[in-house]
Amino acid sequence: MKQNKQKILLIQPPFYRLYKDTYSLDLFPLSLGYLSGAIRKDTDWEVLAYNSDFNPDSEGVSQSYLSGKGFDNYLGNLNDISKPIWQEIRKNIEEYKPCVVGISVKSQTFASACRVAKLAKDINNDCIVIVGGPHPSMVGSEVLNCSDINVFVKGEGEKPTVELLNAIKDGKEFDGIRGIGYRKNGRIIDNPARELIEDLDSLSFPHEVAPAVLKDYEKYPLSAFKNIFSIRGCPYNCFFCGSRMVWSRKVRFRSVENVIAEIQGLQHMGIELIRFDDDTFGVTKKYIKELCHALIKHCPGLKWHCEIHVKLVDEPTISLMKAAGCCLLQIGVESGNNEILKEMRKNYTIEEALSACEIIKKYGIELQTFFIVGFPQETEDSFNDTYKAMKKIKSDLIIHSIFTPYPGTESFELCKKNGLIKDGHDISLYNHQSPANCFCMNITSERFRILVSQIQKMIDRKSRLDRARRVLSLSTIKKIKELGLRKSYQKFQNLIFGN
């Protein structure tokens, strides 16, 4: 008699929905997509991918809400397993009846992942719980301090997960599987690292496997499938980043033909706007040039956006990207102070960053800029430099984060060494919008909150100005002033900037 297939449930743990249930990660996470594809291709396991951070009735996420009332909601929902979000996850695990649960984990979702692991074990104690993603890759066997986790995967997850599932099915030991760690007879076994996947073209396209594996596929908007990778790995060496612990600093490129084939598949679905989800788009000007020429030739009408490094920005490159359909660029400025940029190992100056932003705007591409405040060496002077840079920069959207040292990074060790992180550090309390964040050696927590509040108010004012400009053109404003309608103009200013 033919046996039923063994089942694995891949889960994206909740994060945004802990702040507010109608906040949502409206994406098919690429990590779940690639893993699902590998499992379907190289095992006979049945796989279901479940993004528990997705709500089909979602609304836009407010950054100020995340750092205010939303953070209290987050802590309350995280620590009360009777809340509806956890009951929803419990119900889905009970209905699917997996013998393996795989959880994709970032540092900010580790506490949430532990709650998911507990639910899985409460339902079936024999269920094997595997965690993978950035956090296990950075901290390794520390994740096994959560007794409900059996195995962790470090680095790229496709090959180790496939080998794990085949070993489980055949009743074999895990000792020869590189790229994993596990608990055995009370001991923690940390196997050697695994080699990187050389041929990225061998991976399945996430959007092609989605209809067969993604729970509630029909409820997702088309835009949930717009993200793609063209490379893995980042050559840069930012002090605070943990990306190299997952992908390494060795850059591996998909062939341009393979990328184009995936994009054409997305266009066939009706997707007209895609996002390159690479840590840094293109990495080399040669690859960017080849890819852009191929997009122009094979993907007419496509619009796309990405994140690019300051050092890759010049007029020929940006002009070509624009011609190939690039409509939005995100760029990490990070700080307005060159000493802080040097400490971050950003490999550029604020002057170079501002010049790159001007080039992007010159070619009519929407610009979004990232800034980080509260780096350990931050002073009020360097903070003010960043504030001034934010005001000066011609950015359509400023995305500011509060410095968060993630376990396993050099920045985390620096903070520990300087007493900014104590024993028993609870990472669930700290993320880029957390009001609990303050890891500065030279600014008190109280003063830091005041400074952060000033930045938030300035960004809110700029956002109001942008909204008002959409309603009332600058030419109309000029006419109001020319006609001497001072009271009307004053009301407009108050609308934008407040009294």
Among 261, 257, 310, CA closest to 281: 310
Q: 85, 18 in Cβ contact below 8 A?
A: yes
Measured torsion, CA atoms of residues 154, 158, 161, 166, in degrees rounded to the nearest 10: -150
Residue 94 Ramachandran class (φ > 0 left, ψ -120 to 50 alpha, else beta): alpha
Domain boundaries, the chain: 7-190, 229-443
Kindly state the tokens that stand for 162.
């496939």
Among 404, 315, 401, 410, CA closest to 365: 315
Measured CA to CA in angstroms, residue 200 lies from 32, 38, 204, 463, 494 at distances of 16, 12, 9, 40, 54
> Residue 1 has what pLDDT?
28
Out of 3.30.980.10, 3.90.700.10, 3.40.50.2300, 1.10.645.10, the CATH code matching 7-190 is 3.40.50.2300
Q: Exposure pattern of 139-178 as b/e (b: 16+ CB <10 Å)?
A: bbebbbebebbbbbbbbbbbbbbbbbbebbeeeeebeebe
Q: Which residue has the tokens 């919008």?
A: 433
Kindly state the tokens that stand for 311.
């050092």
> Residue 54 has what pLDDT?
97
Low-confidence ranges of the chain (pLDDT < 70): 1-4, 466-499
Total residue count of the chain as it appears in this document: 499
Q: Which residue has the tokens 């520990």?
A: 416
What is the CATH T-level fold of the domain 229-443, as seen in this structure? TIM Barrel (3.20.20)
> Residue 234 has what pLDDT?
85
User: Which phi and psi angles does 360 have, rounded to 5°?
Assistant: -60, -45
Kindly state the tokens that stand for 375.
């780096």
> Residue 499 has what pLDDT?
40
Looking at residue 27, its amino acid is L
Query: How does DSSP classify residue 276?
Result: E
Give every CB contact of residue 453 below 8 A, 6+ residues apart in sequence: none
Per-residue pLDDT tens digits for 138-176 = 999 999 999 999 999 999 999 999 999 999 999 999 999
> Residue 62 has what pLDDT?
79
303 burial (CB, 10 Å; 0-12 / 13-18 / 19+) is middle
Kindly state the tokens that stand for 372.
């980080």
Q: How far is CA 415 from the centre of its chain?
A: 23
- pTM of the predicted structure, to 2 decimals: 0.90
Q: 67, 82 in Cβ contact below 8 A?
A: no
**Does residue 156 sit in helix, strand or coil?**
coil
Query: Strands 180-184, 151-153: parallel, antiparallel or unpaired by DSSP?
Result: antiparallel
